[in-house]
Amino acid sequence: MWHTLLFGGTASVFLAMTCAGLFHLRWARRLPSLAKLNAGKPILVPSPGPSSTPAPSGEERTREGAREHLALQCPAAGRGNLPPSAGAVLCSVVLAARDEEARIESTVRHLLAQQFVPVEVMVVDDRSKDRTNEILQRLANADARVTVKRVEVLPEGWLGKCHACHLGAAAATGDWILFTDADCWLKPDVIARALLLAERERADHVTLSPGIAPGSLGGQAWHLAFLFSLANWFSGVNRDRPKAYLGMGAFNLVRASSYRECGGYEALRLTVLDDVKLGLLLRRAGKRTRGFIGGDDAQCHWGVTVRAMIKIMEKNYFAAANYWMSAVVGAAIGGTLLWGSALVGPFTGSVAGIAAGAALLSLSLPAGVLARRLGWSFRAAAMAPFIYPLLIYALLNSAVVTLRQGGVRWRNTFYRLDALRAGNVR
């Protein structure tokens, strides 16, 4: 009797996960194309519109002067492919880079190639020891839209990336600020599409999940499992659920006024999951977020194998659990019981055991939906049900490594766990 209850309960849990995933994936889609967003109209990025705010402050006048300087220095490039009458907004792109000589030039060039919207690129070199700064200076000398700042010494009480993003945002002059990663390559029209979407949805924040370069089948299966774990997050923000929030470091596009109103990176000084928690700050400030599957719109240099992904997540997953060991232990025990029961069940020959195994395989259905939206083979989706235990292992590994070290090593800087717990935004 006990094994019937165990296997029956396991089957029920997996079927519930599949059904919930399929429900939430109705709101987890790709960013619409320009043609859909414009519905046949000429491609124009919206202007900020008339303002009823008081006369600009000294800081705002400084920003406006910087924008005029940018237009004078590089008028054609600054406006992209917009006609003179479009009245487009300016988007400031902020990058935090450390030892990124392998990809930083391609990243910046992808940003400068953005169409239909003028951009300025603010790159903060966070104490790089390789040729990153040399490459950035060359790019800045060749294009007035690129501004480079360098951090020589990290101030006390800051994570390196958070401090760099804070400096870049403080110098930004645009109506919108895009935070992206230094190893992330954007499609040429993605910023324009996100701005049009924000206008249509009256959103203050548009975020895309990170895509991965084509790699191993296991790497794709990991990515599908990762996206499935975010399905209810996408669903929550896109349905304006009161407590829902989302943010992704690959593409966090925020209205500049909303960024400053919510506290920005000043409030995220010691937050490892700064991208996600920026979404939380915006939600608490009453701002609207829209989230989309990034795919090749925002392709990042993530690990393309399962082993690489587990290594990359060492600093993140324990932080995602808010450094609560009870949550990690609960996930490890629950995951082991569920997947263990589903894998052993079919070998018992009982109806309940076979049902548990079949229910586990049903998780390939929502993974298949995601694979189709990414243009991937269903083979990766078929592997996804067996990848989920590795996500739990990655969480456990992240906790063990962090506790053993007494903190997190990120960008060649060590941060103590007690400081991270105290500074974490919850």
- Can you give the pLDDT at residue 263? 97
Taking each helix axis from N to C end, the angle separating 325-348 and 388-405, rounded to the nearest 10 degrees, works out to 150
Q: Is the pLDDT of residue 44 over 90?
A: no
- pLDDT, one tens digit per residue, over 10-40 is 999 999 999 999 999 999 999 999 999 987 5
Distance of CA 352 to the CA centre of its chain: 40
Separation between Cα atoms, residue 218 and residue 383, nearest integer Å: 7
Separation between Cα atoms, residue 137 and residue 106, nearest integer Å: 14
Mean pLDDT over 189-201 rounds to 96
- Can you give the pLDDT at residue 317? 95
Percent of the chain with pLDDT over 70: 88
Please tell me the least confidently modeled range out of 59-63, 108-112, 396-400: 59-63
- pLDDT, one tens digit per residue, over 282-325 is 999 999 999 999 999 999 977 667 888 888 899 999 999 999 99
Please tell me the least confidently modeled range out of 41-45, 46-50, 115-119: 46-50
- Can you give the pLDDT at residue 55? 42
Residue reference for tokens 């909303």: 258
- Can you give the pLDDT at residue 56? 46
Which two structure tokens, joined as six digits, stand for 107?
């990243």
- Can you give the pLDDT at residue 86? 37
Q: Is the pLDDT of residue 53 over 80?
A: no
- For CA atoms 31, 35, 39, 44, the dihedral sign is positive
Mean pLDDT over 197-226 rounds to 92
Please provide the distance, in angstroms rounded to a whole number, between the alpha carbons at the two ends of the chain.
43
Sheet holding 176-181, edge to edge: 146-151, 119-126, 91-97, 176-181, 251-255, 205-208, 289-292
Higher-confidence position of 5 and 42: 5
Mean pLDDT over 361-389 rounds to 96
Q: Is the pLDDT of residue 84 over 80?
A: no
pTM, two decimal places: 0.90
Higher-confidence position of 81 and 263: 263
Q: Is the pLDDT of residue 103 over 90?
A: yes
Cα-based angle 362, 238, 213 (whole degrees, multiple of 5): 60
Mean pLDDT over 218-223 rounds to 91
Please tell me the least confidently modeled range out of 217-221, 236-240, 331-335: 217-221
Q: Is the pLDDT of residue 71 over 70?
A: no
Q: Is the pLDDT of residue 348 over 80?
A: yes
- Can you give the pLDDT at residue 46? 58
Mean pLDDT of the chain: 90
Domains of the chain, first to last = 7-27+310-417 (no CATH), 34-304 (3.90.550.10)
- Can you give the pLDDT at residue 167? 98
Separation between Cα atoms, residue 255 and residue 241, nearest integer Å: 20
Which two structure tokens, joined as six digits, stand for 400?
């063990």
Reported as half-sphere exposure (CB side, CA atoms, 13 A), residue 389 has a value of 14
